[in-house]
Structure 1
Amino acid sequence: MSKDKHRKLRNEDPIAFAREVVGGDPFAKLLGISIDEVRDSYARVSLTIQESYCNAEDRTHGAVLFALADQAFAVAANARGIKSFALEIKINYFQATVVGDCVSAEATPIDIRNRVSLWNVDLTNQNGDKVASAQGMAYHFV
């Protein structure tokens, strides 16, 4: 899709833009991240942990969970119809996940301002246990 089509879709249907364009980014596709739900200023994405996502201790590598959190953050921030990029994202890990676990990341806003916004991203496993929590700050091109 061309940049002009991206811009048109962002302006006419920001939810579709966030789901299809931001949610369909090549790295997210490579990992197999699914876009489960997108609304204005909200996204939930998920990923089933595969053996290739694990570290030497057979636990999910932190970079995979970070990527999942970052993807939810990106989709939610861009679901507002305003071009957004991450300024910062940090994550805290609480519980290990392993092969076969399905991890969901849910992004919600903490505070939205004109040029920047702050977001919370909670990662949970298939049992609803919180496995990590991230916080991201986005810059908005207004």
Structure 2
Amino acid sequence: MKMTEEKQTEEEQHIDLQKIRETFAKDRFATENGAIIEEVRKHYARCSIELTERHFNAAGGVMGGVHFVLADFTFAVATNWNGMGVVSLSSTISYLGAVKGKKLIAEAECVKEGRSTVYYRVNVTDDLGNRIAEVGINGFRKIAQ
């Protein structure tokens, strides 16, 4: 969903990123594992995790759950930053490559918004620009518009 540059600028001026971070600090599993909200606008969010020892599996790679937690959290932020009401119905993750950087970055973007359901694509990359995973998430809006 693309808005004109002028409307995006208006929308962005009214977004209080600190207030959104405070709201989502209650999403303790994601935030206590290092998820940070970097950017939010209508139908979009970008979040990241700086990788530490706790994020790695026994084989030395980043645990697959880290990718998913970050993607799910980013979806939650993109859909609920201006008021809670969207929950995920189903998610599909495809792992595309190994992490080579020191940070994971997820970007959630709305593909389809209906009256009561939404579909978002979440792309996960590392800080070197490598594509790590792609996640498709269907969501349900508890209060239909």
Q: Structure 2-normalised TM-score?
A: 0.80
Structure 2 match to 1:128: 129
Q: Is the alpha carbon distance of 1:135 and 1:23 closer, same or farther for their aligned partners in structure 2, counting shifts above 3 Å?
A: farther
Segments of structure 2 that go 5 or more residues without pairing to the other structure are 1-13
CA contact (8 A) 2:30 2:73 kept: yes
2:120 aligned residue: 119
Q: CA deviation at 1:132?
A: 0.5
TM-superposition CA deviations, 1:27-57 (whole Å, max 9, x none): 1221011100011111000001111111111
Query: Map of 1:81-92 to 2, 5 A cutoff?
Result: 81=83, 83-92=85-94
The 3-state SS of whatever aligns with 2:29 is helix
Deviation at 1:110, TM superposition (A): 0.6
Which of residues 21, 24, 41 in structure 1 aligns to 2:23? 21
Q: Is the 8 A contact 2:88 2:138 kept in 1?
A: yes
Of 77-86 and 25-34, the range deviating more from structure 2: 77-86
Are 2:15 and 2:40, in contact at CA under 8 Å, matched by a contact in 1? no
Contact 1:42 1:79 in 2 (8 A): no
* Alpha-carbon contact 1:34-1:47 (below 8 Å) kept: yes
Counterpart for residue 49 of structure 1: 51
Aligned residues: 129
% identical aligned pairs? 32
TM-score (normalised: structure 1): 0.82
Structure-2 residue corresponding to 1:139: 140
CA–CA separation in structure 1 for the residues paired with 2:61 and 2:35: 18
Distance 2:73 2:61 in 1: 20
Which amino acid is 1:74 matched to?
A: A
In structure 2, the CA distance between the partners of 1:15 and 1:91, relative to structure 1 (3 Å rule), is farther
Q: Report the CA distance between 1:79 and its aligned residue.
A: 3.0
Give 3-state SS (helix, strand or coil) of 1:34's partner: strand
When the two chains are superposed, the root-mean-square deviation of aligned CA atoms in Å is: 2.0
